Structure 1
Amino acid sequence: MYLGKRILGLITARGGSKGIPRKNLVNVGGKPLIGWTIDAALRSRLLDRLVLSSDDEEIIAVARSLGCDAPFVREAALAGDTAGSADVVIDCLERVPDYDYVVLLQPTSPLRSTEDIDGVIRQCLDAQAPACVSLCEVDESPFWMYAVGADKTIDPIFKNSYARRQDLPAVYSLNGAVYIAEADWFKRTRTFLSDDTCGYVMPRGRSLDIDTPSDLQYLQYVLSTPQ
């Protein structure tokens, strides 16, 4: 609880995965991928409860063995490739009611820390914002990006006069690690993103998103490298 608000942590992990089969259960650094998110969330001082939404019995069993509550099985209609994340979050809020805020934690961000989770929560509630999302600074600035026309001429995405890299403004992208929203607000808007959403900046080193086998290989390398 923070500032008198009840806060629900939600880990979403469906069984199907095209890029990496059984991705959420792949062993990395001695535990399943989903275990890194569960461990970080269970150490949070601000989450009142952590639950899993999954359609997969094996994922549910593994999550429970690692200390994560799994009070329901997600319906198949919400587990396909076309299912939207908003539907999954709202389904959880209806099954697990009476929370003021919901924090979405995806297992594909295993390097996010407990401090990041609690930092996003504090930033959202301290700012009295309806939502907050985690971000990281991009490697390549869109101010130096171009579109190529049919005649092969190039056109800058943004008209600007930045001649030197050090003059470019900092630009950030969603890193997928932590999302928080006021529960009733999310039910109405069905999104974490609005003009009133605030951002919590994370370092790139904790912003890895596991989507491809090469991402998984890089994660294995990071975890095996002495810090």
Structure 2
Amino acid sequence: MIQGKTVLAVIPARGGSKGVPRKNIRQLAGKPLIAWTIEAAQQSAYLDRIVVSTEDEEIAEVARQYGAEIPFLRPRELAQDDTPGIDPVLHAVECLPFYDFVVLLQPTSPLREASDIDRCIEMCVSRGERACVSVTAADKPPQWMYQLDRDFRLQPIVPQAQLLTRRQDAPHVFVLNGAVYVAQTEWLKRSRSFLTENTAAYVMPKERSLDIDSELDLRIAAELLKATT
């Protein structure tokens, strides 16, 4: 709870991940991937309830072992490859009403800390924001990004009158890192997205912003965790 407002954390973890099979319960530095997010959530000063939304019995059992609640199994139609990411969150707040704020914590961000969760919540609540999401500085400016046409020629993403050659001349840009999403629950039910013109940003450092999407990401995360534990 924060300033008298209740906060629900939702950790979505479907069983059918494709890039890294059974990703959410793959071992990472001695524990399942999802455990890192559950444990960070448990250390938060503000989360009143931590639930895992899954359709998968094995993931549910692993989550219970690490102290998360499984108050329902997610309908399988909300666990497909093409299911929008917001749908499991909206399903969760319909099943568990009366929380003032909802926090989405994706299990693919194992380096996120409890302090990141809390600072994002604080920013949302203290400033009266509708939503706040975590971001990190982009590796490359958009002026250095291109699409390829059918002849494999470069087509700039951002048209520019003069080629940008020095990083120092590039604007500071940020990307979503997928670690923390916070929103007023009733507002989220209406907007059906954490990302609108009303969304504020909480900036996280690169070293805590790794999003697990491949086997290489798992190896990188393992090395980073080895260095900090």
TM-score range, shorter chain: over 0.9
TM-fit CA distance, 1:99? 0.3
**C-alpha contact 1:149 1:155 (8 A) present in aligned 2:** no
Structure 1 position 153, deviation (Å): 6.5
CA 1:41–1:167: 2 relative to 1, 3 Å? same
Contact preservation (8 Å) 1:142, 1:158: no
Where structure 2 has 5 or more consecutive residues not aligned to the other structure, the ranges are none
Partner of 1:157: 158
Do structure 1's residue 74 and structure 2's residue 58 form an aligned pair?
Answer: no
Identical residues among aligned pairs (%): 49
1:123 — aligned with what? 123
**Separation in 1, partners of 2:156, 2:78:** 41
> Deviation of residue 167 (structure 1)?
2.6
Aligned to 2:213: 211
**Alpha-carbon distance, 1:65 to partner:** 1.0
Amino acid at match of 2:188: F
Q: Please say if residues 143 and 160 of structure 1, whose CA atoms lie closer than 8 Å, have aligned partners that are also in contact.
A: no
2-structure distance, mates of 1:153, 1:102: 42
TM-score (norm: length of structure 2): 0.93
> Structure 1 150/25 Cα, relative in aligned 2: closer, same or farther at 3 Å?
closer
Check the 8 A contact 2:143/2:156 in 1, yes or no: no
Q: What is the TM-score with the length of structure 1 in the denominator?
A: 0.94
The 1:84/1:217 distance shift into structure 2, 3 A limit, reads: same
Indicate which of 190, 201, 204 corresponds to 2:203: 201
Match of 2:94 in 1: 94
Q: What is the RMSD computed on CA atoms of the aligned residues?
A: 1.7
- 1:189 maps to amino acid: S
Count of paired positions: 227
Q: Please report how far the alpha carbon of residue 165 of structure 1 lies from its aligned counterpart in structure 2 after TM superposition.
A: 1.7
The equivalences for 1:1-227 within 5 A come to 1-147=1-147, 152=153, 155=156, 157-159=158-160, 164-225=166-227
What's the offset of the Cα at 1:159? Answer: 2.3
Change (3 A) 1:17 1:169: same
CA shift for structure 1 position 17? 1.2
Counterpart of 2:160, as a letter, is: K
